[in-house]
Amino acid sequence: MPSTLSSKIESLLFISPRPLMMSKVAEFLKSSKEEVAKAISELAKEYVDQGRGIELVKNGQQVQMTTSGDNRKVIQEFIKDEFTGELTRPSIETLTVVAYRGPMTKAELELIRGVNCSLILRNLMIRGLVEIIEDKARGTLYQATIDMVKYLGVNELTELPDYDKLNANENLQKLLNIEDDNPVNN
């Protein structure tokens, strides 16, 4: 059975770490803005009517899937427990690469680390250590936040030990350039 428009929208909103413009959803799904707006309204109503743990938040033409406000307390406790403890080794490695090489795409990060970094990036964004910026030429990029710079006790990332050497590492640049030239990935 083929996916419905609502199902596709729900999946897109679920995986997106940030609000999506309804027009972008419509364009991506090759649907009209009106059809997308109607499907989003129906989904939002369905979540409320069923007392679900998720809801859709709309702000103008942006929409995002979030946890239900009714579950705020349990979510806050979970986040405090889950995300205020020490960083895991993979999180520290990811954060280090982003600090020294960012802003960078997820694909570049994963090429350097050799593993999928989606969940790690999401956790680092929740902690306020990494943020997304949009670049017209390169797309979605990840970079260190001001909070991370303050946390590290430096005024800017260039003050990190061996920053110039690691930021311009010739071997990494060759690896990234080879990947950019690979027609399979373009």
Architecture in CATH of 5-71: Orthogonal Bundle (1.10)
Q: What is the pLDDT of residues 98-134, one digit of tens each?
A: 998 889 999 989 988 889 988 899 889 988 899 999 9
Written as six digits, the tokens of 50 are: 């069923």
Q: Which fold has domain 89-185?
A: Arc Repressor Mutant, subunit A (1.10.10)
Phi and psi at residue 146, in whole multiples of 5°? Answer: -60, -40
Q: What is the pLDDT of residues 148-178, one digit of tens each?
A: 887 777 888 888 888 888 777 666 566 556 5
Q: Which of 3, 4, 41 lies closest to 22, judged by CA? A: 41
Q: Do domains 5-71 and 89-185 have the same CATH topology?
A: yes
pLDDT confidence tier of residue 60, bands split at 50, 70 and 90: confident
* 145 and 129 Cβ atoms separated by less than 8 Å: yes
- SS3 category, 16: coil
Q: What residue spans define the domains of the chain? A: 5-71, 89-185
Interacting residues of 24 by C-beta distance below 8 A, sequence separation 6+: none
The arrangement of strands across the sheet holding 20-21 comes to: 20-21, 62-67, 54-59
Cα dist from 8 to 11, 29, 61, 167, whole Å? 5, 8, 18, 39
Q: CA 100 to CA 157: how far, in whole Å?
A: 7
Cα dist from 58 to 13, 35, 41, 69, 158, whole Å? 12, 16, 10, 14, 38
Q: What is the pLDDT of residues 68-88, one digit of tens each?
A: 888 888 887 776 666 566 788
Interacting residues of 48 by C-beta distance below 8 A, sequence separation 6+: 55
What pLDDT sits at residue 182?
46
Q: Which amino acid is at 54?
A: I
What pLDDT sits at residue 42?
94
Q: Residue written as tokens 């970094």?
A: 117
